[in-house]
């Protein structure tokens, strides 16, 4: 895992909106898990899904003890990639107006008599995280579009199309989040060579096996030509990301090889992210 974002701040300041923006930018988002469970969840995702961008929503529904242990949680998360903390805040009167308009209770409403007391207590609870934050955003009088622009700027990202290349195995089901699915099950299958079975499409023995087949080159060129032609059109249509899924039977050899080769061909022009969905099943 390359980048982990912790998104937190005062309730009503736009945390859910920020996570939606990050999801549009290709981040895998998880919200409202207890703080103490995050290192275990992130370790599992890193081990089994090969994610490159992860955003974690944290708020005061975590216990006070968890908040006080935030430094230890932060250190554990850093084992899996670079960690940035986005802290959202809003002026008290704006928060009161937002809660009044939405008629939703504050997460601490069962502990205090007034909304202003909830807001003040929440600030105190979030201090351990706020002190570690390196991206601070005041959302007072900011629209969702403003928030998106600020996030893009502060995270060093542009509003360009992100291409997500995903390998998968048909025996585990077709991914529901795919914009395009390419089937490469007709290519020669390394699985039937007992010496190659334990490798993946990222390993040289499998690469040599597949590259010895003219069909492999022809299939790759057809997929690449299609993407090269149409990705600019999607970018001009203000798409934030496209998920291109390539499937073989088990999701270990042929689809992995094609995805890796596409990455090398596309990354000179596009921001590319890789997900090998069946990595946890590889022998």
Residues at the annotated binding site for GTP? 59-62
Two tokens, residue 94: 């704006």
DSSP state of 81: S
- Catalogue the E-assigned strands of 76-127: 82-89
Known binding-site residue numbers for ATP: 9-16
Query: Which residues have C-beta within 8 Å of that of residue 118, sequence separation ≥ 6?
Result: 11, 106, 107, 108, 109, 111, 112
Please report where in the chains the tokens 């039977």 appear, as a residue. 249
163 φ/ψ angles, rounded to the nearest 5 degrees: -100, 120
Q: What is each CA distance from 178 to 65, 79, 116, 163, 184, in whole angstroms?
A: 40, 30, 45, 11, 15
**Cα(54)–Cα(187) distance, rounded to whole angstroms?**
33
Which uninterrupted H or E stretch holds 55?
strand 53-57
How many whole angstroms separate alpha carbon 167 and alpha carbon 260?
Answer: 9
Question: What is the Cα–Cα distance from 117 to 109, expressed in whole angstroms?
Answer: 9
Binding residues, by number, are 9-16, 59-62
The residues, any chain, with a CB within 8 Å of residue 216's CB and separated by 6 or more, are 187, 188, 210, 254, 257, 258
């Amino acid at each position: 895992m390359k980048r982990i974002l912790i998104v937190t701040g005062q309730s009503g300041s736009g945390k859910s909106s920020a996570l939606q923006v990050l999801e549009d930018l290709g981040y895998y988002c998880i919200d409202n898990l207890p703080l103490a469970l995050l290192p275990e969840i992130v370790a599992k995702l890193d081990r089994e899904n090969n994610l490159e961008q992860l955003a974690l929503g944290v708020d005061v529904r975590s216990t006070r003890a968890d908040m006080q242990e935030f430094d230890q949680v932060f250190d554990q998360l850093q084992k899996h990639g670079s960690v940035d903390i986005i802290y959202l805040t809003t002026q008290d009167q704006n928060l009161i107006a937002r809660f009044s308009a939405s008629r939703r209770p504050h997460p601490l409403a069962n502990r205090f008599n007034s909304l202003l007391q909830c807001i003040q207590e929440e600030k105190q609870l979030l201090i351990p995280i706020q002190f570690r934050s390196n991206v601070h955003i005041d959302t007072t009088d900011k629209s969702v579009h403003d928030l998106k622009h600020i996030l893009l700027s502060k995270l060093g990202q542009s509003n360009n199309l992100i291409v997500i290349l995903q390998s998968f195995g048909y025996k585990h089901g077709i991914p529901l989040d795919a914009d395009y699915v390419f089937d490469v099950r007709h290519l020669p299958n390394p699985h039937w060579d007992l010496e190659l079975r334990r490798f993946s499409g990222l390993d040289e023995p499998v690469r040599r096996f597949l590259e010895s087949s003219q069909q492999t080159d022809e299939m790759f060129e057809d997929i690449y030509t299609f993407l090269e032609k149409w990705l600019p059109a999607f970018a001009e249509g203000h798409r934030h990301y496209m998920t291109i899924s390539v499937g073989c039977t088990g999701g270990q050899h042929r689809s992995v090889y094609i995805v890796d080769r596409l990455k090398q061909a596309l990354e000179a022009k596009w921001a590319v992210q890789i997900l090998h969905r069946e990595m946890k099943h590889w022998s």
